[in-house]
Every structure is written in C-alpha cells, then in structure tokens.
Amino acid sequence: MHEPIRKIIHIDMDAFYASVEQRDNPSLRGKPVVVGGLPGSRGVVATCSYEARAYGIHSALPASKAYKRCPHAIFIKPDMEKYRQVSKQVMEIFRSCTDLVEPLSLDEAYLDVTVNKWGIRSAAETAKEIKRRIAEELHLTASAGVSYNKFLAKVGSGYRKPNGLVVIPPGKAQEFIDRLPIGKFFGVGEVTEKLFVGLGIRNGADLRKLSLEELTRICGKRGAILYQHVRGIDDRPVTPNRPRKSIGKETTLSVDVSDFEEMSQIIRELSHSVSRRLMMNERYAGRVTLKVKFSDFTQVSKSITVGRPVQDEISINRVALELLESVPMNGRFVRLLGITASKLVAHHEATVDEPFEQLTLF
C-alpha cells in the first residue's frame, strides 16, 4: 500500500517585524518602514515594509545604504521581545490546527495538515482558515503555499507575497517546477545560481535535463536533492523542532575577497543571522567558531569559548571579528566565511544582567 499523499502548508508572515510595528502604530501604515540598524550605525536592515521595498531596500542591506535609497523612510530599532510574543501567538494558531508544526524562524513554519484538528479535508481551505485567524486575531497577514511536500509548499508561499495563497496540486506540480527560476530551488544561493545561469540553466525545465551525475559534479551533495526536487519529489517529513546542538550560517562569496573591511561586512551579516536563530531557539552560545575557506579550498576554523554566553548580534560579531583577526591571511583570497554558535545554553541559565553595551566598543 502507498502512503496517502500528504497535505503540507508552508506559512510565512508578510514583512513580519515591520507589519507588527505598523499594526501597533497607525501613523506608520502605508509608509516605508525599515526595522533594524539605524542609519549611521553599522547595522543591517532586518526587514522593511513593502512600501520600503519599492525603493530597493531589503533584509541584510546595510542601514546606511537603505538610508541612501530612501532618506524619508522611518527607521525603527527591532523590539525582539514583542516579535517573539507575536510569534508565539502565530505558532499557537498553527498548533490549534495540527501538532505537526515545524517552525523555521519566528514568522515561518511548515504544517502537515493531512490529518488536522479542525477536521477540514481540503488543505487549501485549511490554509485559508489559518490566514483568516491570523488576520482576525492578530491583525496581520501571512502568505501560504499548499502542496504535497515541503519544497513545493515553500516555493508556493513565496510566490505571491504579500497576503498570497498558492496551491500546487500533484497534477500541476511538474508544469510549475519547469517554469520555476533556478534561484528558487532549495539550496541554490546567489553563487550557485550564477554558476547555473552560466551553463544556460535558467529554470526547472533546463535543470531537469541534467543527469544525477552532472548535477552532483556541479553542486556536490546538494545535486542529489535538486535532482529529486526538480522531479517534484521531496520526502522530508514535517518534524516539530528538535533541540539543536549548534547553530551556524555560512556564505560563499560571489567574488573572492582579501579586503578586511569587505570580510567584516559579511561577518556582520552572518552574526545577525546566527543571533536571530539563537533568539528564536531561546539559546545563548558558549562557544563561537569562525570558518574561513580560501580560494585554493584550504580552510581554517578558529573558536573561542566565551566567559559569558552570547546571543545578541553585536557580541557575536565582536567575537567573530576577533577570530577573523587571528587567521593568518598571507595575502590569500577568501571564498567562504561561516560562523557557528555551539555549547548552547537555555535562556535562563545565562547571566544576562550585565548590559552588553559594555562589550560593543569596537
């Protein structure tokens, strides 16, 4: 007997931090709102309202650049405590539908609604009901993708943002995938995208012409996953969050760099991202590791065990920069940078009474 076809929903809140700010302060509605580092600081944009996106502002953009693109935007410092609260309410709505909820960040989760507590048969109707509750109870909007696996559900939710609902039934999947731009595939970042485009592979249809061997040659282990996804196959189950041993993020640079300032900008973005995931998991890191891969593919990892576990991006950035300074560069070019937080401890175990501003004098 075959397993029944699953019903998977991926939901992602629209412009999450910015929408919460606009919701709570009506004078911000309809305006370009940027949440994150303030202009003049070295911080990055966490997110911005759709009105701000029209000016080319986006997540991870340095705040100074955001200011140049739209000087009349309203810049707001993130209120993580508030977003965490709202996130809990959102996840609460998801869990009232099914126990099979897998959060990916504060504002996004996979749901397996094959069997659900509301007894709704149609996954599309289930997604509508979730969106309706988010609107009614939280006065916020979300976008949802509905399909029979995670890959397609996630692509669906990003397809018609904001406030979208995209259903990809099995019979429509291949046609949808064939038209999908290469950059939308799981694990295809900017660098891999360029590589594919250079080979004339622009969408799913092009990608599907490659053999498993060719794909593995081009992008290693990820090739096997792509081979399956482009055929509409993705058996990953929806798993409610397992406790993590470490949280890491790395980036392959689009061009190899040797300039310290450029590297520190990347480190800043990585610190931000690792910090965000620590916050979401309510964990502090006792150890921070920096990985540097050079253009000749040799690599160095350096770690520091910190006296006081860290979570905020400024502290992580400070430690990572210290590590970067300790790596002998010898004029080499860097092609990849990564930061991993480990020795994770729970919120309450860490001493947090000392204001971290003391540590930010770099």
Residues of the shown chain interacting with Mg ion in the complex, contacts defined by CB under 5 A: 12-13, 16, 107
E strand map for 122-246: 142-147, 165-167
CA distances from 5 to 86, 116, 233, 257, 263 (A): 32, 14, 12, 47, 46
- Residues in contact with 130: Cβ distance below 8 Å, sequence separation at least 6, in sequence order: 9, 11, 93, 94, 97, 111, 142, 144
Regarding 230 and contact with ligand DCP (CB under 6 A), the answer is no
Of these, 8, 10, 16, 185, which contacts ligand DCP (CB under 6 A)? 16
For residue 132, the surrounding DSSP H or E stretch is helix 123-138
Of these, 10, 11, 14, 74, which contacts ligand DCP (CB under 6 A)? 14
Give the residue with the Cβ less far from Mg ion, 16 or 151: 16
**How many Cβ atoms from other residues are within 10 Å of residue 328's Cβ?**
6
Q: Is 108 a catalytic residue?
A: yes
Give the residue with the Cβ less far from ligand DCP, 43 or 223: 43
Site for ligand DCP in 269-288 (CB under 6 A): 272, 276
Burial class (CB in 10 A: 0-12, 13-18, 19+), 265: middle
- Spell out a b/e string for 138-157, using b for 16 or more CB atoms within 10 Å of the CB, else e: bebbbbbbbbbbbbbbbbbb
Give the residue with the Cβ less far from ligand DCP, 201 or 285: 285
Cβ atoms 303, 286 nearer than 8 A: no
Regarding 60 and contact with ligand DCP (CB under 6 A), the answer is yes
Give the residue with the Cβ less far from Mg ion, 34 or 267: 34
Give the residue with the Cβ less far from ligand DCP, 16 or 148: 16
Among candidate residues 33, 17, 15, the one with its CA nearest the CA of residue 73: 33
Cβ atoms 163, 178 nearer than 8 A: no
Regarding 12 and contact with ligand DCP (CB under 6 A), the answer is yes
Of these, 8, 9, 15, 226, which contacts ligand DCP (CB under 6 A)? 15
Q: How far apart are CA 66 and CA 69, in angstroms?
A: 5
Regarding 107 and contact with ligand DCP (CB under 6 A), the answer is yes
Nearest distance in Å: CB 44, ligand DCP: 7
Q: Choose among Mg ion, ligand DCP, none what residue 174 binds, the Cβ cut-off being 5 to 8 Å by kind.
A: none
Of these, 108, 193, 234, 312, which contacts ligand DCP (CB under 6 A)? 108
Q: How far apart are CA 342 and CA 246, in angstroms?
A: 4
Of these, 59, 163, 174, 252, which contacts ligand DCP (CB under 6 A)? 59
Give the residue with the Cβ less far from ligand DCP, 15 or 57: 15
Amino acid identity at 361:
L
Q: Which of 51, 102, 108, 313 is catalytic?
A: 108
Q: Choose among ligand DCP, Mg ion, none what residue 75 binds, the Cβ cut-off being 5 to 8 Å by kind.
A: none
Cβ atoms 66, 48 nearer than 8 A: yes
Regarding 161 and contact with ligand DCP (CB under 6 A), the answer is yes
Per CB under 6 A, residues contacting ligand DCP are: 12-17, 46-47, 59-60, 105, 107-108, 161-162, 272, 276
Give me the active site residues, please: 108
